[in-house]
Structure 1
Amino acid sequence: MARPTAPRGLARQRVLDAALALFAEHGVHGTSLQMIADRIGVSKAAVYYQFRTKEEIALEVLRPSIEDMARVIRIAEVLPDMQRRREVLVIGLIEMVVRYRQLSVLFYGDPGIDQLVRDEPEFSVVTGRLQELLEGPHPCVADRIALRVFLSGVCRVAADPDMGDIDDAELQHTLVELSARLLSSTPIAVPVS
């Protein structure tokens, strides 16, 4: 009797789900394909059937958040006012980071992810365009530093296990409010919840 097999899409998702959990625990560098295979109870060859490399898995885990950010960028790009563009980007980025809190662990503090994103042309374009739009055409040193503090701070807070007791709505509202203060050279309107 033939053994039933899972559809390829379901098998791929199982690999991605296991990888995400392991990446959050051990980082990308500290996670092996064997660990992923063991987590879902299959052979390493079965993981290779779905993905060629661990880096490919990491990129696919990140893809939904990058696609969401690309959508926010497209919305912001059509706005004529730089301040409104920045508001949309900041609020959109914070929404994305809160929605993908577990992914924030990957973005923050894992140099392997930073390099993967820089090396993947599709992702690099999104992160580069986000930076360009947030900085504006002629950023001063203080604006550039404030932007880096904002970007790393938002990811760090979302990834911090000590912040796990804060619900998503409160975290999002507070991050937007604090970001408005930090990026005060062009104030951001804080939405009322």
Structure 2
Amino acid sequence: MPGTERTWAGTTLADRRATRRRRLLDAGLDLLGGADGAVVSVRAVCRTARLTERYFYENFTDRDDFVVGVYDHVVSLAHQVLVDAVELAGPQPRQRAEAAVSAFVTLVLDDPRKGRVLLLAPFADPALRNVGVQRLPMFADLVREQLSDRVDEADRTMTATALVGGVANLFVAYLSGTLDVPRERLTAHCVRLVLGAEALHS
């Protein structure tokens, strides 16, 4: 039928392209988020994904575009996880804080690759040195929306930005091994930080 996408082995061209892109992003997680700090090159990505360079360039213009794509993939996951956690939490600040922190901890510690990509890679990979700073406001906005509006917008923005930076640095230290505390203690401390920020505006 005209307008109907042709299929091969039960999948459309769009499906196959999406599958290849997922395989490339998964390879990027393995390389960029690996504990051994593996070098991310087009050849290494294709070898890990078991795809030819043709399919790499079908999705990304070059190596740096790929690295940013992997980073933005994890940023989107983290942002959505936090949004969902707050929406499903109860109305009280403690409920929202515990839900958001627990969801973030699960994302970045249950799969440390994601934590390393999100929090460590911007310090290590030149392609991400400015990108990480550019993405910070989207997380600060989530925090700002949860703060009381009894103070002006500038104060809410500064508090939210400081909180996001502080929590991020805690997780950087934890993932890099310089902060040696149990996961439960890290989680509880982050919840107290979030509630402390809320108290500033209550």
**Fold match, TM over 0.5?**
yes
Is the partner of 1:45 in helix, strand or coil?
helix
Deviation at 1:64, TM superposition (A): 2.5
Tell me which residue corresponds to 1:156.
173
From 63, 86, 91, the counterpart of 2:76: 63
Matched residue type, 1:160: S
CA distance in 2, matches of 1:62, 1:145: 19
Tell me which residue corresponds to 1:95.
106
Deviation at 1:56, TM superposition (A): 2.5
User: CA-atom RMSD, angstroms?
Assistant: 4.2
Q: Which runs of 5 or more structure 2 residues have no equivalent in the other structure?
A: 1-8
Matched residue type, 1:45: R
Query: Bigger radius of gyration, 1 or 2?
Result: 2
From 19, 26, 29, the counterpart of 2:28: 19
Tell me which residue corresponds to 2:6.
none
Gap change, CA 1:118 and 1:46, over 3 Å in 2: same
- Counterpart contact for 1:22–1:36, Cα < 8 Å: yes
- Counterpart contact for 2:25–2:70, Cα < 8 Å: yes
Q: How does 1:138-157 map to 2 (within 5 A)?
A: 138=151, 148-157=165-174
Deviation at 1:21, TM superposition (A): 1.0
CA distance in 1, matches of 2:178, 2:85: 29
From 109, 113, 116, the counterpart of 2:131: 116
CA distance in 2, matches of 1:67, 1:11: 23
Please say which of residues 139-148 and 60-69 is displaced more in the overlay: 139-148
Gap change, CA 1:182 and 1:86, over 3 Å in 2: closer
Q: Which runs of 5 or more structure 1 residues have no equivalent in the other structure?
A: 188-193
- Counterpart contact for 1:143–1:183, Cα < 8 Å: no
Tell me which residue corresponds to 2:4.
none
Tell me which residue corresponds to 1:129.
141
- Counterpart contact for 1:69–1:93, Cα < 8 Å: yes
Tell me which residue corresponds to 1:45.
54
Gap change, CA 1:178 and 1:51, over 3 Å in 2: same
Gap change, CA 1:97 and 1:130, over 3 Å in 2: farther
Matched residue type, 2:26: D
- Counterpart contact for 2:31–2:45, Cα < 8 Å: yes
Deviation at 1:118, TM superposition (A): 5.4
Question: TM-score under structure 2 normalisation?
Answer: 0.60
Matched residue type, 2:171: V
Deviation at 1:12, TM superposition (A): 1.9
Gap change, CA 1:149 and 1:134, over 3 Å in 2: farther
Gap change, CA 1:124 and 1:33, over 3 Å in 2: farther
